[in-house]
Structure 1
Amino acid sequence: MNWEAFLAPYVQVVEELKVKLKGIRAQYEFESKHSPIEFVTGRVKPVTSIIEKTRSKNMSFDKIEEEMQDIAGVRVVCQFVDDIYGIVRMLQARNDFSIVEEKDYIETEKDSGYRSYHMIIRYPVATLRGEKQIIAEIQIRTLAMNFWATNEHSLNYKYDGQIPTDVKARLKRAAEAAFKLDEEMAKIKDEVQEAQRIYHRKRVYAKHKEGGPS
């Protein structure tokens, strides 16, 4: 298989989604409003990971495009849990892609303690042979959830998916602590956002005063 040619549309999807989501964040900043988007990242699954997953799932290569939903992945990280659902509603209202499936691992977390909101979408990409519908995954989570998930991913890699029982128990407790942090921060959300608005106004004023771009 020519992997570079196969993955090219997935690379395009990731780049286009990143541009659009970062554009939304910039619009909030221009209007001096709280942006539900803290930052956006994206990646295309490495070929080695794709091959490993096909083997572990006993998946034939001709089924990859339909059955492997996370070849193209974009992650949206927020400050608050409420922001996650705000982004979900925003994405649900868009007409530049269709939503295939939604998985709310915040209301019902995984046994490991993992929390995040997943959207599986079909995104149209213009190719030399015409439009191609690419399946991609959008993950939406808070900073605390992202910190936990990043560390869990590293441990899964280290232990080849077989994390020791005692480490699993600690991870579970850490996940509960991370969600407790999100709950506590939600209680002072208005205070935090007001502080951020004040900081933004001061920064804009200082740039104007210096004669630099605002």
Structure 2
Amino acid sequence: MSNWDVFLAPYKQAVEELKIKLKGIREQYQMSSKHTPIEFVTGRVKPISSILDKAKRKNIPLDCLQDEMQDLAGVRIVCQFVEDIETIVQLIRSRSDFEIIEERDYIMDKKPSGYRSYHLVLWYPVQTIVGEKKILVELQVRTLAMNFWATIEHSLNYKYSGEIPEDVKDRLQRAAEAAFKLDEEMSQIRDEVKEAQRIIIRKQEEQGKT
């Protein structure tokens, strides 16, 4: 790859545009006083060192990256409740400004490690000075508990170069089940939580008027 900056520029643009659009959805929910399914949105372009590591591991030639590496650009939507994930996925499916080419449900079908998340792979059109360029973007949707667990797992994978000791793996799997149990428990009281949040918002609005 002769010029990484030029190659990755459209991916950075796609991440920023999607973050703005998704945060816009969140703000619309907040202004409508409805429960917002989106807690926060993050995004990143994969670092060059990680791209090279994955390309080597997966046997992907560098001139095939744009077609064969789906997560060069990644956007993550984090929500409060498991039920919010389906709401978000339906919102994404209803949009016409990009095309969904693949969906992977790691919530119903978790990974052996215990990882849970819902993944969508998009063909996202970026407008450049030489015309439209469609690029692959991976969109992840998960709860706060799933995100906390995945962040820890990612750190341990980095520490152990992908070879996490068996005893640590076992503890991670137990932690994953505990995180999912927390999600299930929170779902049981979500109506109470939503009502509490509405009361807080109303009080803040009333204080803002005085």
Q: What is the TM-score with the length of structure 2 in the denominator?
A: 0.99
Higher mean alpha-carbon deviation, 50-59 vs 183-192, is at 50-59
Secondary structure of 1:140's match? strand
Ranges in structure 1 where 5+ consecutive residues have no aligned partner: 210-214
The residue number in structure 2 matching 1:169 is: 170
* Structure 2 Cα separation of the partners of residues 108 and 125 of structure 1: 32
Question: 2:177 is aligned with what amino acid?
Answer: E
Secondary structure of 2:110's match? coil
* Structure 2 Cα separation of the partners of residues 137 and 117 of structure 1: 10
Give yes or no for the alignment of 1:153 onto 2:158: no
| RMSD of Structure 2 on Structure 1 (CA) | 0.5
The residue number in structure 2 matching 1:72 is: 73
Q: CA deviation at 1:51?
A: 1.0
Question: 1:53 is aligned with what amino acid?
Answer: K
* Structure 2 Cα separation of the partners of residues 101 and 3 of structure 1: 26
Give yes or no for the alignment of 1:53 onto 2:40: no
Secondary structure of 2:163's match? coil
* Structure 2 Cα separation of the partners of residues 63 and 4 of structure 1: 17
Give the alignment of 1:107-118 within 5 angstroms. Answer: 107-118=108-119
Give the alignment of 1:14-25 within 5 angstroms. Answer: 14-25=15-26
The residue number in structure 2 matching 1:90 is: 91
* Structure 2 Cα separation of the partners of residues 177 and 34 of structure 1: 25
Question: 1:179 is aligned with what amino acid?
Answer: F
* Structure 1 Cα separation of the partners of residues 123 and 58 of structure 2: 22
Give yes or no for the alignment of 1:199 onto 2:197: no
* Structure 1 Cα separation of the partners of residues 175 and 61 of structure 2: 37
Question: 2:73 is aligned with what amino acid?
Answer: A
Residues 105-157 of structure 1 show CA distances to partners (whole Å, capped at 9, x for unaligned) of 00010000000000000000011111000100000000000000000000000
Q: What is the TM-score with the length of structure 1 in the denominator?
A: 0.97
Q: CA deviation at 1:163?
A: 0.2
Give the alignment of 1:24-63 within 5 angstroms. Answer: 24-63=25-64
Secondary structure of 2:124's match? strand
Question: 1:62 is aligned with what amino acid?
Answer: D
Residues 149-169 of structure 1 show CA distances to partners (whole Å, capped at 9, x for unaligned) of 000000000000000000000
How many pairs align?
209
* Structure 2 Cα separation of the partners of residues 187 and 201 of structure 1: 24
The residue number in structure 2 matching 1:212 is: none
Residues 164-211 of structure 1 show CA distances to partners (whole Å, capped at 9, x for unaligned) of 0000000000000000000000000100000000000100110111xx
Q: CA deviation at 1:62?
A: 1.3
